Amino acid sequence: MRLKGIGALLIVLGCFSAYYVYEPIPEDIDERWKLMLTNSFFRALSHLADFSELLGLKDYMGVMYFITLAERVVPLSDEHVLVTEERFDGVEVVLYQPQRAHAAADLRRAVVYLHGGGWCLGSSRMSPYDMLARTLVTDLNALVLSVEYRLAPAHHFPVPYEDVYRVVKHFLQKEVLARYSVDPERIAVSGDSAGGNLAAAVSQQLRRDPEQRIQLKIQALLYPVLQALDLNTPSYQQNRDMPILPRTLMVRFWSEYFTSDKALFRAMMSNTHNGPASADLLKFVNWSAYLPEPYRAKYNYSTPAVAPDDGGGGQTTTEGGVPAPDGGPSRAIGDPRASPLLVPDAALRSLPKAYVLTCEYDVLRDDGIMYVTRLRHAGVEVTHEHYDAGFHGALMFTVWPTDFDIARRMTDNYVLWLKENL
C-alpha cells in the first residue's frame, strides 16, 4: 500500500512538473528545452503572483519583482571599466567608462541605455545589463549611461518617461559632455523592450524641442514595444502563449504602466480599451497597411472597437500637441510618449538613423516591423535585423545557466552596428 502511495505521489509530481516545464515551442527555436526550463520558472512565479494578489498578500508586480532582485548585482569597477553611480537631474544613473587613459583631445562615443522590464520590473543593476554595458565600453571605447528610472505601478506613466527624458536632457548639455570627454556628435540612445519604447519616445521628443541644440546621432531599439492601441496584431495572436512574454503579461505591463485599476486590464485583454481620444490614431497601427504580407499570414485585419466617450470630453493637449498627463489612462493610451508609433509622418522625418531588432516569436514583433515601415516611408535610414528563431528578451539571456547562443549572436550584431554607425 505504501509503495502504491509513493507511486501515485511520483505520478502527480511528474504531471505537475510536466505541466510547468513542457510547452509546444516551435521546432526552429534553438535550445528549446533550455527555454522550456527557463520559462517554467517565470510561469511558476507568475502563478504565485496571481495567487498572492488574489489573497491580498502582495500585488502581482511586487511578487514578479523577485526576478529583478534575483539578478541584481553591485556594479563595481574592474581593470577595464570604471563604474560610478551618480544622479542626473535627480535621477539615479550608473556610468560605465573606459579605464584606459586617453589624450585630452580624444572624445569618446556615448550610449544612453534604458533597461527593459515592462516599465514595472528590471534595473540597470541587473547582471545582464551590467555585462552588456561593460561590453559596450570595451568594444566601442564608449561611455555608457545606464538609467535607473522609477517604475510602475508605484510610479505610473509619464513618470518613467520623464525620468529618462530629464537624464538625457541633462547629459546633452555641452559642459556635461565635456566633463566626461564625450563627442557631442556621437551619442546614441538604446534600449530593449520597454527600454526600446522609452528610447524611441525620447528620440522623438528631443527633435520636437526647439531649445535642444545637441541631438542624438542614432537610436537602437531592441524588440521594442511601441503602441498600446491594438493588442491583437498578428504577432500578439501568433505568440499569445510564447515563453518569457505571453500576451497576458504584456497586456498587464501596459495596464499597470497607466493605472492600477483592473478595469483597464480587462478592457485591454479584450482589445476594447480604445475611446474617442485614441480613435483617430488607429490609422497609425493599421497592420494591414504597415506589415509586409509574410507577417500578416493567415490573419485578417479588423479595426479595434472604440468605446463610447466616458464623459471626459475631448482630449486635452499641451502646447506641443502632446496629450495632457491629467487626462487619465484613456487619454494616455494615445500619448506618443507612451506609444511612439502614433506620431504623424511629419514627426518621423527628422529622426536619427535607427537600428531595430525584432524576433519572430515575440508578441511585440509587429510593433517593431510597423515602425521600420513607417520610418522608411518617412525617409529615415533604418537597419532592420529580424531573427526568425528569436524570442522576446533573448539578448538578455547571457548569464549561466540561462545563457543562449542566440543572445551572443544578437549582442555581436548589435555591437557591430553601433561600432559602424556611431
Active-site residues: which are they?
A: 193, 362, 392
C-beta neighbour count of 383 within 10 angstroms: 16
Asked if residue 108 lies in contact with residue 141, where contact means CB atoms within 8 angstroms, the answer is yes
User: Could you tell me which residues are beta bridge partners of residue 353?
Assistant: 218
Closest C-alpha to 351, from 171, 246, 211, 199: 199
CA angle 393, 64, 135 (to 5 degrees): 35
- Sheet of 182-192: strands edge to edge? 81-88, 91-98, 142-147, 108-114, 182-192, 218-222, 353-361, 382-391
Supply the DSSP symbol for 385.
E
> How deeply is 37 buried, as exposed, middle or buried, from its count of CB atoms within 10 A (0-12, 13-18, 19+)?
middle
Asked if residue 140 lies in contact with residue 187, where contact means CB atoms within 8 angstroms, the answer is no
As given in the structure block, the three cell numbers for residue 409 are 549572436
User: Could you tell me which residues are beta bridge partners of residue 142?
Assistant: 109
Supply the DSSP symbol for 151.
-
Catalogue the E-assigned strands of 206-297. Answer: 218-222
C-beta neighbour count of 174 within 10 angstroms: 10
Supply the DSSP symbol for 303.
P
CA–CA dist 404, 270 (Å, integer): 34
CA–CA dist 83, 78 (Å, integer): 8
Asked if residue 194 lies in contact with residue 254, where contact means CB atoms within 8 angstroms, the answer is no
Residue with cell 479595426: 303
The stretches of 339-399 forming alpha helices (DSSP H) are 345-348, 365-377
Pairing assessment for the beta strands 81-88 and 91-98 based on DSSP bridges: antiparallel
- For residue 158, whether the previous peptide bond is cis, meaning omega lies within 30 degrees of 0, is yes
Supply the DSSP symbol for 356.
E
